[in-house]
Amino acid sequence: MRRELALALCAIAVAAAAAAAPPRVVVGSKAFTENTILAEIIAQTIESQTAATVERRPNLAGTHVCFEALRNGEIDIYPEYTGTGLRNILASQASGLSRGATYATVARAFAERYAMEWLAPFGFDNSYVLLMRSSVAERLSVRTISDLSQYPLHFGMSHEFLRRPDGMPGLRAAYPLNERETSGLSHDLAYQGLQQGSIDVTDGYSTDAKILTYELVALEDDRGFFPAYEAAPLMRRDLGERVPGVEAALRLLAGRIDADAMRRLNHAVEVERTTPAATATLFLQSLGIESAAGASGDGQRTGFLRLLYQRRWKTLDLARRHLLLTGGAVVLACLLGIPLGIAASRNPRLARAALGLAGVLQTVPSIALLAFMLPLFGIGVTPALVALFLYALLPVLRNTIVGIQSIEERLIDVGRGLGMRDSQILRQIELPLAAPVVMAGIRTATVISVGTATLAAFIGAGGLGDPIVTGLSTTDYALVLCGALPAAALAIALDYALGLVERWTTPKGIRS
């Protein structure tokens, strides 16, 4: 009877705790300025309009990573572009779809295939646009791409645009252009060229902050040639069921951010160097959506030293996580690599196979290896740990094999002649003599892992890569240094410490 009562009380307590704990929403973003700002806007809107708590997973490596993370439920929502959904995720070749048709197509397909919902678009496209200097466009009274045909102009286009079928070739077919001259050049040079008047027209992205910086104007695509890349929140359907208020909250943003507004937001982060969070807060206030976040300070970025000081506890926490990732991967590599190395040192065929495989893994670029992990393990710590482990495996395995094989044959022979069993030869002769070499392998593996682990931030594993990735995507180099310098210091410190361990594991008799 008493036990039943206790059980009932427990059940009530659990139910109460479940009811009391606010639901949690995980907001992701890709690793570029615009997407991180949009994710902040989504996050702060949900925070202010619902009871849910929001966890941010910004700067995930790209479309593939974000989409897989959403599919696996590791994030609940992130900002995506309809054209990207159509071309990159659905791999559709459909062309000439209107903006509305594109949205309708992805909305239907994602709902059916992936149980995901495209919410109402923010109100802008981030697609290709043709750009001119505002003053020139005004003087010639050019407003649309069709208007261009009236003048013989110098087109200075990016190399990629000249080649892509949805770039210059398609544009020529859709519009009667009057090309006095057409040349390929980089985006940055093209902007300068426009400035100096050496070219008249270039291509760009509709929300690029440089449109503001260089006082350019985006010509209207009056024949609807460019595919639509409307930005909209993409979320898992179950989020709507878990947190019923989310859709209503985000509907407040529908159509509220036009291309011009987005350009200004990008400009604020990239040029005025405001943080994405503060930028989002200010913008939401301007829409009359009170943000719960209350961005700290004025949102202005600080210099490196002050930033490093401000972030000291945060950095310590990231370093701890970084160490756990690295240490976990190296321990796993030792658990497999040392026994496998011992077995391989007795079997040349196994040695060749194991070294070959580990060598191949080593040549896979780290960011690619991390990406391969996504379909298998989703995002977060697990795939990062597995990828780091695969990298750490080769040095440990190779040094174990080499360490054992380089022991004088005569010593093994004497051990056997004196009546040692294989296990005793291993423990009393081979392992002590191979220990310094194995330890050197572990040291190499650790230093490699500390470096590679900074890339793990791209798949949401955290660590000292977090400020690096965030800083890179928002061109905040002080923030990059806040991750890079501690990571370098960590690598040097670990190398030194393991050097001591290496010396310590070297048997006295063979120390030089």
What is the DSSP code string of 148-200? GGGS-EEEEE-HHHHHSTTTHHHHHHHS---EEEEEE--HHHHHHHHHHTS-S
For residues 441 and 395, is the Cβ–Cβ distance under 8 A?
A: yes
For residues 107 and 117, is the Cβ–Cβ distance under 8 A?
A: yes
Least CB distance from residue 342 to other proteins, whole Å?
A: 17
Kindly state the DSSP code that residue 428 receives in the 8-state scheme.
I
Residue at token pair 């059916």: 112
**Cβ-count burial 217-238 (b if 16+ within 10 Å, e if not):** bbbebeeebbbbbbbbbbbbee
Q: Which is nearer to other proteins, 414 or 497 (CB)?
A: 414
Q: Which is nearer to other proteins, 306 or 421 (CB)?
A: 421
Partnered with residue 144 across adjacent β-strands are: 220
Q: Which is nearer to other proteins, 288 or 419 (CB)?
A: 419
For residues 257 and 236, give the distance between their C-alpha atoms in angstroms, rounded to a whole number. Answer: 22
Least CB distance from residue 440 to other proteins, whole Å?
A: 16
For residues 427 and 431, give the distance between their C-alpha atoms in angstroms, rounded to a whole number. Answer: 5
Least CB distance from residue 511 to other proteins, whole Å?
A: 9
Helix (H, G, I), strand (E, B) or coil at 289: coil
Least CB distance from residue 416 to other proteins, whole Å?
A: 6
For residues 360 and 429, is the Cβ–Cβ distance under 8 A?
A: no
Length of the chain counted residue by residue? 512
Radius of gyration of the chain from its Cα atoms, rounded to whole angstroms? 29
For residues 142 and 132, give the distance between their C-alpha atoms in angstroms, rounded to a whole number. Answer: 9
Q: Which is nearer to other proteins, 309 or 504 (CB)?
A: 504
Least CB distance from residue 508 to other proteins, whole Å?
A: 6
Q: Which is nearer to other proteins, 8 or 414 (CB)?
A: 414
Q: Which is nearer to other proteins, 3 or 508 (CB)?
A: 508
Q: Which is nearer to other proteins, 121 or 403 (CB)?
A: 403
For residues 31 and 473, is the Cβ–Cβ distance under 8 A?
A: yes
Q: Which is nearer to other proteins, 2 or 511 (CB)?
A: 511
Q: Which is nearer to other proteins, 418 or 500 (CB)?
A: 418
Least CB distance from residue 399 to other proteins, whole Å?
A: 17
For residues 130 and 157, is the Cβ–Cβ distance under 8 A?
A: no
Least CB distance from residue 428 to other proteins, whole Å?
A: 8
Least CB distance from residue 423 to other proteins, whole Å?
A: 11
Least CB distance from residue 445 to other proteins, whole Å?
A: 24
Chain residues that interact with other proteins, rule: CB under 8 A: 410-411, 413-421, 424, 428-429, 432-433, 507-510
